[in-house]
Chains A and B, each alone.
Chain A
Amino acid sequence: SQTIHQWPATLVQPVGSPLSLECTVEGTSNPNLYWYRQAAGRGLQLLFYSVGIGQISSEVPQNLSASRPQDRQFILSSKKLLLSDSGFYLCAWRSSGTRNQPQHFGDGTRLSIL
């Protein structure tokens, strides 16, 4: 069966520090991969999605970036964190085989910026 792993579960970082969040998927090949951010009490904001290695689509301009160095690995990065980057970050995957497949989410990373 397929599983998705996100780490770390919680992270506290000072303003201006770098960021690297990692997400890996097991049990499937060539998945679509997604990064979302969820601010406190808000809905989901799509940040990036990828339909293949090295293919990244950015949905919002910001100081975050994403990379997909391997088929089932998706990394969210920042060179300098801002206070506004605080939030709950969710990685998701979806089978690319057919159009009606749902997205499946990881357990999320709670990021607090001090």
Chain B
Amino acid sequence: AQSVTQLGSHVSVSEGALVLLRCNYSSSVPPYLFWYVQYPNQGLQLLLKYTTGATLVKGINGFEAEFKKSETSFHLTKPSAHMSDAAEYFCAVSDKTGNQFYFGTGTSLTVIP
């Protein structure tokens, strides 16, 4: 079965600094990978997804992620943090049917002014 590990349950960065949120997956087949963002008392919003093709994926709000098969990683980055980026971020991988998703435990991002 697939699993997702998000290293660091809490990450703090200064406004304008690089954001790096780590995600490693365990999958026996080429996976579909996703990043979601959750603001307080809201549902999850899709940031970006990797399915096939280009390994560097660009998403909304200036975020991007790179699929590295050799490292089984899908880390999320943003060159310059904004106060509005403060939220919970979840990495997810789907099973081979696409019907079930496996979510990481989330990383809470704090942006320091």
Chain A contact residues, CB within 8 Å of chain B:
6, 32, 42-44, 46, 49, 51, 88, 90, 92, 94, 96, 98-108, 110
Contact = CB atoms under 8 A, between A and B. Distances in A.
Nearest to A50: B99
A92 B92 CA distance: 14
A43 B4 CA distance: 11
Contacts of B32: 99-100
B69 to A, nearest CB: 16
Given A43-B90, A46-B100, A100-B51, A105 B44 contact: yes
Contact of B103 (A43, A88, A104): A43
Contacts of B74: none
Nearest to B101: A103
A43 B104 contact: yes
B20 to A, nearest CB: 20
Top 3 A-B pairs, shortest CB-CB distance: A99-B98, A105-B43, A100-B51
B98 A106 contact: no
A32 B103 contact: no
B70 interface: no
18 contacts: A43-B104, A44-B90, A46-B101, A51-B99, A88-B41, A94-B99, A99-B97, A100-B94, A102-B34, A102-B46, A102-B49, A104-B46, A105-B36, A105-B43, A105-B45, A106-B43, A107-B42, A108-B42
A70 B34 CA distance: 29
Contacts of A51: 99
Contacts of A110: 41
Contacts of B43: 6, 90, 92, 105-108
